[in-house]
Amino acid sequence: MKAASRTTGVVLAGVGGMLVGGPVGAVAAGVAGGALMDGLTTGIDSAVHRRFRPSGTIATVNEAIELNSEGKPIAGKIFDAVGGVITDGR
């Protein structure tokens, strides 16, 4: 349900952005729609479970800022975080 709701938010925002601002508006609105849905899901899920439970892009960015045992960033996690945002705009 979370993934389906997020996808719906991205698509609806992208369609609205396309109507208002053409292709550039669609990309910007799609990214914003994904971020909005991630924020809503993170906020609601965190409130229900009474601890921080990130969702979607918030979760991947949270994982991307973690360091490995050598104190270095994990390249795959950074790729996932950037790729997620790019995919929302696609």
Tell me the pLDDT tens digit for each residue of 19-78: 999 999 999 999 999 999 999 999 999 999 999 999 999 999 998 888 888 888 888 999
| Enclosing domain of residue 23 | 2-89
Look at residue 55 and give its three-state secondary structure.
coil
Model-level pTM?
A: 0.83
77, 60 contact by CB (below 8 A):
yes
Token readout for 78 is: 């950074």
Residues with Cβ within 8 Å of residue 63, at least 6 apart in sequence: 74, 77, 80, 81
Tokens 């045992």 -> residue:
69
pLDDT at 70: 84
Number of domains in the chain: 1
